[in-house]
Amino acid sequence: MTGALAAEWLKVRSVRSTYVAVAVAAATVLLGVLFVLYAGSVWDARPPDRQPEFRAARPEQGFLPVVQLSLAVLGVLAITSEYATGMLRTSLTAVPRWRTVLAAKAVVVAGVALVVASAVLVGTFAAGRLAAGDRTMGFNTAPVADELPLLLASIASVVVMALLGLGFGAVCRSAAAAVTAVVGVRFLVPVVATLLPPPWGARLAGVQLQDLPATIAGVETTGGGEPAVGLVLLVGYAAVPLGVAAVLGPRTEA
Amino acid sequence: MCGGPASGSVGGVIEIRGLTKRYGRTVAVDDLSFRARPGAVTGFLGPNGAGKTTTMRAVLGLATPTSGEALVNGQPYRRLRQPMYEVGALLDAGAVDGTRSALMHLRWLARTNRIGRARVEAVLAQVGLTAVAGKRVGGFSLGMKQRLGIAAALLGDPAVMIFDEPVNGLDPDGIRWIRELLRSLAAQGRTVLLSSHLMSEMALTADRLIIIGQGRLIADTSVGELAEQFNRGVLVRSPRPTELTAVLTGAGATVVAEPGGALAVTGLGPAQIGDLAAAHGIAVHEATPRSASLEEAYLALTASSVTYAAGGGGGPR
């Protein structure tokens, strides 16, 4: 397993797509700062008596989908690039155990997502607060400690998105199909949920990937679910596709 | 585990026992059995679609046999803990990520089996890719990709080496390089299994020949035996065929008259025929040995397998 892990780490490090994905995720820091500077200019233009009621979204939350999607694509490509080139057969000749290969990929993808998401989201959080200065813009009024649960849950959601991408990639074996599936689960299901008749939209709201960080952190949620349930659901989003992929096998025959 | 066991480049055996592989209703390999032994290049020959690649994938654990087994050093491949020290394989040279450099491709592969960086440099030098090691594989020619694939197969210094159609699409220089490499690997005592659909290539490279058609074994032979099997004697032309026939038949040969007045002689070599004719004062205008080319022998063998399958009514078609 350690050999497979070391190999997967080197694979991820030695292709350009990894650096593109990380660069796109890192752009969130810049986008967050630009957003806060723009919101700050609006704050500055307000009469002083209306400034306290100003509310701007947390920049690291606003741009979280960028981080999630870029690392989900990294997860997708970690396996679909091997299907596309046929290199997976070489991988399985060197390590003739599919679950070991898949597990090694999952550990590496999760590790990269954890490090990148932590750096980018904490960086965006800190840069946003610095850019806000002493303006009271809503997102920067609570003590840092109060913001930690949501920040950690958001980082976890990025790791889950990356593993969801890897799982969908292994199941679909095609990058296009897997990315479409990831986008469908993360961005289209919420849209569809709003179109459903009354009880169902609300029921779906509590289990959607986009709401889970807030549910887990116990902050104002649309679904209002239990944090523990949210955590189980979040883990499920990563575990189910990977589990299906592990059971299906590599399917490199024929 | 430090550096792995020294292979010693000896003792590797590939053994196929009653291997059958079906994909749905298609029978890719049908009750195939053969062995590839150390110190020889075993040519694995058959028309496209005969089941060569499927058999090789079964050996490498990439295809699960429907029945029977494919063993390497007495074990199924999937049971090998550090397979690269025992088996090196080149299945498809194009199956590499073109965005990765040659060096990085070999380094990740080496890491899976705890093979050191020095060995990566050594195999790069062995195949002549050191100068382009840092370049993206996507820019490589087919010949360079073949060399990279061979470097990958050599990483663990394995006693068993498997090559699937390694000369396909190569230029004459590349073909000769691979031929000499395969010969030298066998000369070092390794077991080399080489597939091809080109008999002409096998004639120059292989010691043993495993010929299959429609997934079934047609012949397990050597290049020499195959040539002998399809020896069609000597074509002799003479202005006095009747007398020459009598002389040669008297000496124990079998003589058949061919259209155009020539004689097909079996049982005597051209030198003996010439001597006999001279001793009897019979002029000989031509004495040409007609061993069928190996290509023809191969085509005759595989054609008969097709005929057999169609006539038998129980074939996969």
Residues B217-251: tens digit of each pLDDT: 999 998 888 877 777 788 889 898 888 999 989 88
Q: Which residues of B touch A92 (CB under 8 A)?
A: 61-62
Residue A62, pLDDT > 90, answer yes
Q: In chain B, positions 86-115, which contact chain A (CB-CB < 8 Å)?
A: 87, 89, 91-92, 94-101, 104-105, 107-109, 111-114
pLDDT of the residue at B267: 83
| Sequence-ordered alpha helix ranges (H) in B140-284 | 142-154, 172-187, 199-205, 223-229, 241-250, 270-279
Query: For chain B, what is the radius of gyration of the CA atoms?
Result: 24
Task: Label residue A119 by pLDDT band (50, 70, 90).
Answer: very high
d(CA B177, CA B37): 23
Residue listed under structure tokens 């986009």: A210
B116 in contact with A, Cβ within 8 Å: no
Query: For chain A, what is the radius of gyration of the CA atoms?
Result: 20
- Partner-chain contact B101 A14, CB within 8 Å: yes
CB B10 within 8 A of CB B32: no
pLDDT of the residue at B4: 39
Task: Label residue A184 by pLDDT band (50, 70, 90).
Answer: very high
- Partner-chain contact B89 A10, CB within 8 Å: no
d(CA B1, CA A247): 30
Interface-testing mutation among B26, B77, B97, with chain A (most A C-beta atoms within 10 A): B97
Q: Which residues of B touch A3 (CB under 8 A)?
A: 111-114
Q: Residue A16 burial (CB < 10 Å; 0-12/13-18/19+)?
A: exposed
Q: What is the nearest CA distance from B248 to chain A, expressed in angstroms?
A: 57
Size of interface A-B (CB pairs under 8 A): 83
Interface-testing mutation among B2, B29, B104, B111, with chain A (most A C-beta atoms within 10 A): B111
Q: What is the nearest CA distance from B53 to chain A, expressed in angstroms?
A: 10
CA dist A41 → A7, A34, A46, B195 (Å): 49, 11, 9, 71
Residue A253, pLDDT > 80, answer no
Three-state DSSP state, B134: coil
pLDDT of the residue at B271: 87
Three-state DSSP state, B42: strand
Three-state DSSP state, B192: strand
DSSP H or E segment with residue B288: strand B286-291
pLDDT of the residue at B1: 38
CA dist A200 → A130, A194, A204, A211, A216 (Å): 41, 9, 6, 16, 21
- Partner-chain contact B97 A82, CB within 8 Å: yes
Q: Which of A3, A81, A92 faces B62 most closely, judged by CB atoms?
A: A92
Q: What is the nearest CA distance from B69 to chain A, expressed in angstroms?
A: 16
B286 in contact with A, Cβ within 8 Å: no
B152 in contact with A, Cβ within 8 Å: yes
Q: Which residues of chain B have pLDDT under 50?
A: 1-10, 307-317
Give pTM, 2 decimals: 0.86
Q: Which of A85, A86, A93 faces B83 most closely, judged by CB atoms?
A: A93
Q: Which residues of A touch B64 (CB under 8 A)?
A: 253
Q: Which of B92, B94, B113 faces A3 most closely, judged by CB atoms?
A: B113
Interface-testing mutation among A89, A93, A252, A253, with chain B (most B C-beta atoms within 10 A): A93
Q: What percent of chain A has pLDDT over 90?
A: 80
Q: What is the nearest CA distance from B109 to chain A, expressed in angstroms?
A: 7
pLDDT of A2-57, one tens digit each? 999 999 999 999 999 999 999 999 999 999 999 999 999 999 999 999 998 899 99
Which of B103, B94, B248, B226 has the alpha carbon at shortest distance from B165? B94
Q: What is the nearest CA distance from B197 to chain A, expressed in angstroms?
A: 19
- Cα nearest neighbour of B155 on chain A: A94
Residues 6+ apart with CB under 8 A from A66: A24, A25, A27, A28, A31
- Partner-chain contact B152 A85, CB within 8 Å: no
